[in-house]
Structure 1
Amino acid sequence: MKLIQVKRETIQENRFAPKMGRLNAKVTYVKSQFLGITIKTLHKYRETYYGEVKDCEECVLAK
């Protein structure tokens, strides 16, 4: 068993983009874990309506 692991998890979330308004997007979190306990979120990105992958820094949670 490894002590430190990197896990990827996809969740449906409501997001707000200034140009499109509210949208329901698949958000993928890349997290580092120590013995199965999440330590830190390394990166999060979302898939757009058109299939593009974008960083989540561009949109704001629930406005």
Structure 2
Amino acid sequence: MKLIQIKRQTRTEKRFSPKMGKLYTNVTYIKKHFLTIPVKTLHKYRETYYGEVKDCKDCQIAR
């Protein structure tokens, strides 16, 4: 049994971009787990409509 694991999870979120407005996009989280408990988010990114991979820092979460 491994103590530390790296897992990737994708889910749909509402985001807001100044150029495009409100959009629904798939956001992928890469998290570090210790004994199946999530400890830290290492990276999160989203894939655009055209297939580009972008960091989530350029768009805000819509409220």
| Cα distance between partner residues in 1 of 2:49 and 2:23 | 9
Q: TM-score, normalised by structure 2?
A: 0.96
Provide the secondary structure at the position in 2 that maps to 1:24: strand
Q: What is the aligned-residue identity percentage?
A: 67
Stretches of 4+ moved more than 2 A in 1?
none
CA deviation map 1:34-61 (0-9, x unaligned):
0000001000000111111100000000
**Structure 1: runs of 5+ lacking an equivalent:** none
When the two chains are superposed, the root-mean-square deviation of aligned CA atoms in Å is: 0.7
Structure 2, unaligned stretches of length 5 or more? none
How many Å separate the matches in 2 of 1:53 and 1:38? 24
- The total of aligned residue pairs comes to 63
